[in-house]
Amino acid sequence: MTVLALDFETANERRDSACAVGLAWIADGRVVRRESHLIRPPEMRFSPGNIRVHGILPANVADEPDFGTVMAPYLEDLRRGLILAHNASFDIGVLRAGLARAGLPVPDLAYLCTVQVARRVFPAPEGCGLGKVARRLGIRFEHHDAGEDAFACAEIALAAMRERGARDVPALAAEIGLPITRAVGGPALPRRPQGAISGRAMAAFAQAPAALRFTMRGSTGNRYSVVLEEQPGGPQLRCTCTAGRYGLRCRHVKALEVGDITDLMSDNASEVALLARMLGVKARVAGAA
């Protein structure tokens, strides 16, 4: 089985805003390969807080390849292997959202969180953040560089294997009672089309609810409503956030358009999938026009 550690840095609060990725492969009890790449996110919007963490500026990634181009060579290893990540829910979320935004199929994934590994094998009152665990184990790396973080993540797993006498990472997971998480993938979603959803696309989905309404979490925890409304130019998504009130396509609308449910608070994820299919019909109708 291929075992590799994965780490992403993001440009802003959205999971589909990856601006860097690092990977480190484990075999025969050591790190045997390392890769790192800068990524041009789909929107060149960098939050100051994110820049303070990783130091990546828009100018650094303006001429870099996009998410799909960067990740394509590694998808087979990610699909058939076991992924390690420190705070895995974040990095797996970035991987899934990035693939969906790129219009690529999301594969089934198996992963293990090294935060949980460290809590079982190397517990300490100070916590099990990547830098803290690495410091306790004497792992030297440059924190918040994606390639370096992936290496440190892999080294933590290797140290835990040695500590528990496990022959490999799956055996370590079994030894410490930490189940490997398996996330079911899905087919490629259509790339987000521009403009309103056409009436013909809406008509193709007579089973759609009378009004598609979603509750989304804002960056400060506020709740906003996104509603599919009938407008003169055709149905459009409208958000109650400040940007939406000024008629702009805010980040909540953009997330729903690509099927990103990271900030979805309402219990209707299935309707997000329906919306994505409606957008796909619109794209095919527009292409045939």
Burial of 251 from C-beta contacts in 10 A (0-12 / 13-18 / 19+): buried
Tell me the torsion sign for CA atoms 34, 38, 42, 45.
positive
Query: With a cut of 70, which residues of the chain have pLDDT below it?
Result: 188-211, 230-235, 276-289
What pLDDT shows up at residue 211?
60
What does DSSP assign to residue 72? G
Residue position matching structure tokens 């026009």: 289
- The answer to whether residues 281 and 168 belong to one domain is no
What pLDDT shows up at residue 264?
87
- The answer to whether residues 26 and 116 belong to one domain is yes
Residue 275 in any domain: the answer is: yes
- The answer to whether residues 132 and 248 belong to one domain is no
Which of 130, 149, 183 marks a domain boundary? 183
- The answer to whether residues 168 and 81 belong to one domain is yes
- Cα gap 144→137, rounded to integer Å: 18
Classify residue 195 as left (phi > 0), alpha (psi -120 to 50) or beta. Answer: left
- The answer to whether residues 67 and 142 belong to one domain is yes
- For 215, the enclosing helix (H) or strand (E) is strand 213-217
Alpha carbons within 13 A on the beta-carbon side of 261: 14
- The answer to whether residues 176 and 100 belong to one domain is yes
Which of 121, 153, 183 marks a domain boundary? 183
Q: Please provide the size of the chain in residues.
A: 289
Cβ proximity of 12 and 42 under 8 Å: no
Residue 66 belongs to what domain range?
3-183
Residue 225 in any domain: the answer is: yes
Q: For the chain, how many structural domains are there in total?
A: 2
- The answer to whether residues 168 and 259 belong to one domain is no
Residue 193 in any domain: the answer is: no
What pLDDT shows up at residue 273?
73
Q: For residue 138, what are its two tokens?
A: 């004497």
- Cα gap 12→179, rounded to integer Å: 31
Residue 190 in any domain: the answer is: no
Cβ proximity of 76 and 42 under 8 Å: no
What pLDDT shows up at residue 232?
55
What letter represents residue 256's amino acid? L
What pLDDT shows up at residue 171?
97
- Cα gap 257→272, rounded to integer Å: 8
Query: What CATH number is given to the structural domain containing 55?
Result: 3.30.420.10
- For 25, the enclosing helix (H) or strand (E) is strand 18-27
Contacts of 281 (CB under 8 A, 6+ apart): 200, 201, 204, 205
Burial of 68 from C-beta contacts in 10 A (0-12 / 13-18 / 19+): middle
Cβ proximity of 171 and 45 under 8 Å: no
- The answer to whether residues 59 and 108 belong to one domain is yes
- The answer to whether residues 166 and 135 belong to one domain is yes
What pLDDT shows up at residue 127?
94
- Cα gap 170→185, rounded to integer Å: 21
Residue 220 in any domain: the answer is: yes
DSSP structure string for 166-210: -SSHHHHHHHTT-PPEEE--BPPPPPPPSSPPPHHHHHT-TTS-S
Cβ atoms within 10 Å, residue 259: 23
Residue 94 in any domain: the answer is: yes
- The answer to whether residues 93 and 209 belong to one domain is no
- The answer to whether residues 155 and 17 belong to one domain is yes
Q: For residue 85, what are its two tokens?
A: 């990540």
What letter represents residue 65's amino acid? P
Which of 183, 211, 227 marks a domain boundary? 183
- Give 93's strand partners: none
- The answer to whether residues 237 and 165 belong to one domain is no
- Cα gap 137→120, rounded to integer Å: 14
Residue 145 in any domain: the answer is: yes
Residue 188 in any domain: the answer is: no
